[in-house]
Amino acid sequence: MKPSPQRIAIGLLIVLFLYLGLFTWNIRTGYVDTLASHTGLEFARWVLAPGKLVHEEAASFWNRYLYFVGIRQQNDQLRQELDAAKDELSRLRENASEVERLRRLLSMTPPGEWTRLGARIISHRLGPNAALETFLIDKGSASGVAPNTPVVSPDGVVGRVLRISPSAATVLLITDPNSRIPVVSQKNRTQGILKGEGPSHELSLQYVAQGAPIEEGEILVTSGLEEIFPKGLPVARVTSVGRSGASLFQLVTAAPLFVPQQLEEAALLFRGAPVIPAAQPDASGQPAPEQPPFPTKSGKLPKTPAAMAPTTRQPTPPPPAQAPAAQAPAAPAPAVKAAPPPAAVQSGQPEKKGREAGAEAGADQKKRRKPSRPEGQ
């Protein structure tokens, strides 16, 4: 049922009347404005609060994301700096250790008339499976190293050079069973032969008589009798002294003063300055081979200008002439050197003598053209 226009008009009038009454009442009292202000503010608050919350959460999430990204980059950078600092610290510690070792090596003063040369150990050959107790150094014959060159460390004698090459050398340690060094005790001056007993074994001092005085802890030094090591270099320390009723000698053991596994540098000792061989190359850079000045096995001389000449001195033949008539006046003729004939001699005699002299000169030239054969051809 549709409302009639009259009812619609009446309703509008009622609403208008209520609005005007409320407006008038609000002007007099102001209650409606106060209620509207509070209600509008609460409504706006409840409407804007969720949006504000979403904005704050989004902004906080973005800030945290950017912060974490910056923190990660900073952590990566700090981690790289820490790794670089660790590497540098390790390198500096290694350099400090090397400087300390080299300082100890340089502080060792060689005996009189001896010079030292530092060498770096580049390879070890130790253990029960090794044929010899040796190690390899980076100095060879090009640096003046020769077999039996003494090798020492700041603690004492290490060994001697066994084999050499141009740029490296093998050092035989005193702990090898093939090593024997004449030594003397530093305090009681008791002599003996210090022999190596192999890896993980102490050295043995041989040929020490039963009544010879020697004490534990005494330092053994080189005696210089073998003319390889200088006299007075420390070699080992006596660890035990025993006696055997069936033997004429004491049982003496000693420990080396250095640790082979911890040795990285050593010093080579030379009597005077090290002798460095020097080759004299030719223009091409290679050593010039010597030319044999004597004939070869076949009996022939080498084909050189000096060897092409005959061994016996022969007169040099003159160059061949085109006509014998031009050679005849050049040959020394007896008739030319002789005194002129008297005026009474007939004119036919000089001409005959001139022809005979020319014939003799021609025969002499034929003999000279054919030189004698050199010896051995």
Supply angle C-alpha 349, 355, 359, rounded to 5: 145
345 vs 239: which has the higher pLDDT: 239
What was the pLDDT predicted at 321? 46
Confidence label for 238 from pLDDT (cuts 50, 70 and 90) = very high
DSSP state of 308: H
Integer Cα distance of 172 and 332 in angstroms: 83
Nearest CA to 159 out of 248, 93, 222, 76 is that of 222
The answer on pLDDT for 377 being more than 70 is no
The answer on pLDDT for 164 being more than 90 is yes
Domain ranges of the chain: 5-101, 117-271
Q: Please compute the mean of the pLDDT values over residues 16-33 and round it to a whole number.
A: 76
Integer Cα distance of 347 and 246 in angstroms: 126
Residue-averaged pLDDT of the chain: 75
Q: Please compute the mean of the pLDDT values over residues 77-104 and round it to a whole number.
A: 92
- At CB < 8 A and 24+ separation, what contacts does 44-53 make? none
Q: Are 160 and 151 in contact (CB under 8 A)?
A: yes
Tens-place pLDDT, residues 26-38: 777 777 667 776 6
- The third-level CATH classification (topology) of the domain covering 117-271 is Thrombin, subunit H (2.40.10)
Report CA-CA distances (Å) from 121 to 170, 236, 344, 360.
10, 21, 110, 87
Q: Please compute the mean of the pLDDT values over residues 247-260 and round it to a whole number.
A: 90
Confidence label for 364 from pLDDT (cuts 50, 70 and 90) = low
Tens-place pLDDT, residues 266-320: 999 998 777 676 655 544 555 544 443 333 334 443 443 333 434 444 444 554 4
DSSP state of 142: G
Token pair of 210, please? 């039963």
What was the pLDDT predicted at 315? 47
Q: Are 138 and 120 in contact (CB under 8 A)?
A: yes
The answer on pLDDT for 347 being more than 60 is no
Q: At 71, which amino acid appears?
A: I
Confidence label for 59 from pLDDT (cuts 50, 70 and 90) = confident
What was the pLDDT predicted at 332? 44
- The b/e string for 188-206 (b: 16+ C-beta within 10 A; e otherwise) is eebbbbbbbeebeebbbbe
Integer Cα distance of 58 and 139 in angstroms: 73
Alpha helices (runs of H) in 209-341, residue ranges in sequence order: 305-308, 324-327, 334-337
Share of the chain above pLDDT 70, in %: 68
